[in-house]
Amino acid sequence: MIRLLALACLVSIPACTALPEHPVPEDPRWLTYAATGGPGDGRHVVLVSAEQEYRSEQSLPMLAKILAKHHGFHCTVLFGVNEQGLVDPTKKIRWEDETVTHDIPGLEHLASADLVILQTRLITLPDEQVGHIIDYLDSGRPVIGIRTANHGFLQNFPYEIDGKRVRFGEDVLGGSFRKHHGNWHRDSTRGIAVPEQADHPILRGVDDVWGPSDVYRTYKEGESLRDECTALMLGQPLLGREHGDEPNPKKIPLPIAWTKSWTGSTGKTARVFHVTMGSARDYQSAGLRRMTINAAYWCLGLENHIEPTSSVDIVGEYEPLPSGFNYAKLGVIPRPVEHYR
């Protein structure tokens, strides 16, 4: 009898510990990465790249692979594509061409997402696609916004609560891009943890945050971060674009990472994390990668599983292109989705 009970226990272990299947089918229009075991326990993270400047088409697949391989999250990466179905960071926005409408195949998979990570910039989506985003924001599920997400939508974001239009950057993320506080494409940013938040789970194990993008200003001069936001890290503009450059004495540090909550029209409240660093080359910083991975845990209520020495190592090769709009010089061209796997 004892042997039979032991055998029954052994047989039952895989059924008890097996991860759920990835909820999104493989498809040439998006990338999927299956969890390989870890605290994420098969929760589903959808990462959305649709911007023209900071090479998120390279950084978000890199983050997805880390989340899947090292941390146990199923991940799906969606991209802004052109009429040929190619990932196209060169596609214009409506300020440049009034006829442009953007396209992100797969946004319907937000319905199965436990967390969304957004890096969009001034895009205009068709009604059906923007509806999937609004439904997600009403669901009480968490949001991470990276850099340009705070000015992620230009037109056709018809989201209202009690008759008042919702501003995605200002209201959901806690601050919209107002101007470059640092010198655009001419300096870099050193992250400085807010001393009062040194024990916050998102900062656990985080050090040496640096990147070659500049600091955004997200509120008017003379004002401060919104009351509902908790600043975790400040960004000090440096005098150049090297890791060891000196601080710019004429530029004070401003918040570059914070938490807040968001309550949609259904009354359900979600955790939100926003980081205004986030170019693909910024994410060569292990400190920035760790802070973002930690934020995924925190957003999902898994902060007790954040380990300061857990792996945030890059999976495979990662050679991101520089930021900017000079696409020919930088080598930025429309490419198939599979190129970014």
Better-predicted residue by pLDDT, 155 or 334: 334
What single string gives the DSSP state of each residue in 315-340?
A: PS---PPPPSS-HHHHT---B-GGGG
Give the mean pLDDT of 142-149: 98
Percent of the chain scoring above 70 in pLDDT = 95
Q: Which residue, 216, 253, 257, is CA-closest to 236?
A: 253
Give the side-chain half-sphere CA count within 13 A for 171: 13
The C-alpha atoms of residue 134 and residue 130 are separated, in whole angstroms, by 6
Instruction: Answer whether residue 251 is part of any domain.
Output: no
Q: Which residue, 256, 284, 337, is CA-closest to 62?
A: 284
Tell me, what amino acid is at 100?
Answer: V
What average pLDDT is seen over the chain?
94
Contact between 273 and 202 (Cβ < 8 Å): yes
- pTM of this structure: 0.94
Give the mean pLDDT of 142-164: 93
Kindly tell me if the per-residue pLDDT of 35 is higher than 80: yes
**Per-residue confidence band for 155, with pLDDT thresholds at 50, 70 and 90:** confident
Contact between 257 and 230 (Cβ < 8 Å): no
Instruction: Answer whether residue 245 is part of any domain.
Output: no
CATH of the domain at 40: 3.40.50
Give the mean pLDDT of 246-250: 98
Give the mean pLDDT of 2-30: 66
**Per-residue confidence band for 9, with pLDDT thresholds at 50, 70 and 90:** very low
pLDDT of residue 17: 64
Torsion of CA 47, 48, 52, 55, to 10 degrees: 10
Instruction: Answer whether residue 115 is part of any domain.
Output: yes
pLDDT of residue 157: 87
Q: Which domain holds residue 128?
A: 25-179+256-320+328-340
Give the side-chain half-sphere CA count within 13 A for 215: 27
Instruction: Answer whether residue 261 is part of any domain.
Output: yes
The pairing of beta strand 210-211 with beta strand 269-275: unpaired
pLDDT of residue 183: 95
For residue 301, count CB atoms less than 10 angstroms from its CB and return exposed for 0-12, middle for 13-18, buried for 19 or more: exposed
- pLDDT tens for residues 187-242? 999 999 999 999 999 999 999 999 999 999 999 999 999 999 999 999 999 999 99
pLDDT of residue 51: 98
Give the mean pLDDT of 161-175: 95
**How many Cβ atoms are within 10 Å of 306's Cβ, its own excluded?**
21
Instruction: Answer whether residue 127 is part of any domain.
Output: yes
Q: What is the DSSP letter of 313?
A: P
Percent of the chain scoring above 90 in pLDDT = 93
Count of structural domains, the chain: 1
pLDDT of residue 6: 41
Instruction: Answer whether residue 139 is part of any domain.
Output: yes
Give the mean pLDDT of 44-51: 98
Contact between 188 and 211 (Cβ < 8 Å): yes
What contacts 31, CB < 8 A, 6 or more positions away? 61, 64, 76, 77, 337, 338, 340, 341
Instruction: Answer whether residue 35 is part of any domain.
Output: yes
Bridge partner list, 118: 48, 145
pLDDT of residue 18: 82
Contact between 276 and 259 (Cβ < 8 Å): no
Instruction: Answer whether residue 59 is part of any domain.
Output: yes
Contact between 44 and 114 (Cβ < 8 Å): yes
Contact between 288 and 235 (Cβ < 8 Å): no
Q: Is 242 helix (H, G, I), strand (E, B) or coil?
A: coil
